[in-house]
Amino acid sequence: MSDWTEKYRPSTLAEVRGNDTARDALKEWADTWAEHRKAVIVYGSPGIGKTSAAHALANDKDWPVIELNASDQRQADVIDKVAGEAAQSGTLMQGSSGRRLIIMDEADNFHGNADYGGSAAVTGVVKKADQPMILIANEFYDMSQGLRNACQEIEFRDVSKRSIVPVLRDICRQEGVEYEDEALEQIATQTSGDLRSAINDLQAVAERAERLTLDDVVTGQRDTTEDIFDFLDEVIKKLDPQAALEASYDVDETPDDMINWIEDNMPKDYAGRELADAYGYLANADRWLGRVRATQDYSYWRYAGDNMTAGVAAARQEKKGGWTRYGPPSYWSKLGRSRGSRETRDAIALQIAEESGTSIGTARRQILPFLAEITHHCKNRELTVRMAAVYDLDEKQVSFVTGSGKTTNKVQSIVEDAEELRGQEAVEHSGGAFEGATRDQADETDADSEQDSTEDDDTAADEKESASDDGQAGLTDFM
């Protein structure tokens, strides 16, 4: 039996169910693309029809599709080569309208991978694209601020039960499956707005039953994942190493999140030697997670999981009892409180990286701290103005780098001076174009004199440009 999610994937936008507002916004974006020429980020929970809507739009517009997956195409050079070439007008296939649609799935997977230059590369591709681009993401705010600002955004919401049931009913009729209405309603309820999961559940139950009843659906309902608090109680207090590892398979958490849960709650029950041993296993797990981030080889997750579950259970030296109040990792609340600062920092690092030709990681770890030190509280005003001019920083960003706190009159005046400095340098590097235009209007009756003065000005402009050309990238721009 074929996969029903693929078999019944909508072929036109009119067939997309449950997100009428988002669907109409996507159509309007495509119809007016020649006017705004912006990429669009389509985001929302998994399984609600984002990718299907993108392909349906391409069918409606007769746009050939070039599809990329961000989790497979992360390196900056790969993105520049593949996505960059695809997004430019050229020899690649085009539809009857002369357009092609570039779809980049899992675009939020660039989060945390800035050292590879992937996020900056995608932002660059988006800004210079000559073809329509749709970036598909589950988490909108996991994408860099620069990338979000460069795109239009359209949110797809979870599909309502009243929209899922008619889809399931149509599939049953086309497949010749007899059903009870209550059974379809139960499937729609238990999948919590995930249309793709609802279709998968329908197919799974229909393959086992001649007639779809409510009892069939309840009996065949997917196993619910183990509650994280029950899991913590079992791993820390009760289970042997093998059972602890097996219990982790039923927890709906990634290893990166699970280690935070265990690390924060383990000290509530462990102490002394067993706590030290447990931390040793968590340190091993963290090293394996670091290897995953460095290599993008997710097979290493298994070793991280072994250490953080079986290892922690093996560290237990005595029986634990009673009730413990477990809570979410404090690390998450710290991230939430510092989100605005981190977004500002990353935006500045991106601007530094683009200007100086380095990676965002290098800009964030090495260049930005140096700038903060030499411009602390704007004490070296000339350098601060030069920094703001070179990296095109606004008042909020200057305040962040210099540690001035809230925007002050001093910061405002620095940004104004930086804008004036950029304007002056634009004129200096124009090769005398502005002065030449003025003389053309004043001396158009004297062609010979005009020619002589233009040559003199060109020579002077060359001398100015040569004298001021002391490097245009990195820290040397304002040192």
Q: Domain residue spans in the chain?
A: 4-155, 161-219, 228-335, 340-468
Provide the CATH number for the domain formed by 161-219 in this structure: 1.10.8.60
Q: List, as one string, the DSSP characters of 90-146.
A: SSS---TTS--EEEEETGGGGTT-GGGTHHHHHHHHHHH-SS-EEEEES-GGGS-HH
Measure the CA–CA gap between 414 and 399, rounded to whole angstroms. 10
Look at residue 61 in the predicted model and tell me its pLDDT: 94
> What's the pLDDT score for residue 12?
94
Per the confidence metrics, is the pTM higher than 0.85? Answer: no
Q: Residue 47, Cβ neighbours under 10 Å: how many?
A: 22
Q: Tell me what pLDDT residue 117 has.
A: 52
What value does the mean pLDDT take over residues 348-363?
86
At residue 404, the pLDDT reads 80
Q: At what angle do helices 195-206 and 161-175 cross, to 10 degrees?
A: 40
Contact 112, 78 (CB under 8 A): no
Q: Grade residue 115 by pLDDT with cuts at 50, 70 and 90.
A: very low
- 186 with 213: CB under 8 angstroms? no
DSSP assignment of 434-448 equals HHHHHHHHHSTT-HH
pLDDT score of 308: 94
What is the per-residue pLDDT across 48-102, written as a single tens digit (0 to 9) for each? 999 999 999 999 999 998 887 655 444 455 555 555 555 555 444 555 557 889 8
CATH topology of domain 4-155: Rossmann fold (3.40.50)
User: By C-alpha distance, which of 67, 74, 71, 33 is closest to 50?
Assistant: 67
pLDDT recorded at residue 222: 43
In 3D space, the residue among 289, 287, 300, 303 whose CA is nearest the CA of residue 245 turns out to be: 303
pLDDT of residue 164: 93
pLDDT tens for residues 5-49? 889 999 999 999 889 999 999 999 999 999 999 999 999 988 899
- pLDDT tens column, 233-282: 889 998 999 999 988 887 777 888 889 899 989 999 999 999 999 999 99
What's the mean pLDDT when you consider all of the chain?
79
* Mean pLDDT, rounded, for 291-301: 84
Whole-angstrom distance, CA of residue 259 vs CA of residue 33: 44
Longest dimension (CA), the chain: 102
Residue 151 has pLDDT above 90, yes or no: yes
